[in-house]
Amino acid sequence: MLNKLFGKKHKQTEEHILAPVGGEVVAIEEVPDPTFSQKMMGDGVAIKPNEGKVVAPFDGEIMQLFPTKHAVGIKGKSGLEVLIHIGLETVSLDGEGFEGHVTAGDKVRAGDTLVTFDLGMIKEKAADTITPIVITNIDAAEALDKKINAAAKSGETEVMSVTVKS
């Protein structure tokens, strides 16, 4: 009891990750690319997009917008780092069909537009439109709750809830 009163207080931080793109939320294991499906980059979910806009999944800072604009990394206030990778084998498009709206170091709020893209062109020219949302520093997570099989609205539907180690 005294330890409860005077002991070290452990503050757990929750990071609620909203859908960065609208569409069907599926398990990361369903991504037809072993880098993602075998969680080599981290754990998360994927979305089969029904629109061509990626928004910030939470308040944070842009760590990186890839030169080809097919992927963006964002770090939340909790320290959680998330990679949003638009489609598969889209790096080979060399930026064609993508427009970035942020740069590294930008502070963003949940729902802010990060990247817009031509969904039809990606369907035609890339391997797949499926968009992995990966927690790249998964070792910082104490617990991960995924919301699979949801019809997600970008910037509104929660797709993951993460308890971040303090």
What tens-digit pLDDT sequence spans the chain (166 residues)?
444 445 444 456 899 999 999 999 999 999 999 999 999 999 999 999 999 999 999 999 999 999 999 999 999 999 999 999 999 999 999 999 999 999 999 999 999 999 999 999 999 999 999 999 999 999 999 999 999 988 999 999 999 999 998 7
Distances (CA, A) of 29 to 22, 64, 130, 162: 19, 25, 12, 18
Q: What is the structure's pLDDT at 8?
A: 47
Please identify every residue annotated as catalytic: 85
Q: Which CATH number fits domain 12-164: 3.10.310.10, 2.70.70.10, 3.40.47.10, 2.60.40.420?
A: 2.70.70.10
Adjacent-strand bridge partners of 61: 75, 107
Q: What is the structure's pLDDT at 128?
A: 97
Q: Where are the domains of the chain?
A: 12-164
- The 10 Å Cβ neighbour count of residue 110 is 17
Q: 158-164 and 151-152 as β-strands: parallel, antiparallel, unpaired?
A: unpaired
Block residue for tokens 């709020």: 109
Q: What is the structure's pLDDT at 60?
A: 97
Q: What is the structure's pLDDT at 102?
A: 98
Burial class (CB in 10 A: 0-12, 13-18, 19+), 3: exposed
Q: What is the structure's pLDDT at 166?
A: 78
Report field, pTM of the whole predicted structure over 0.85: yes
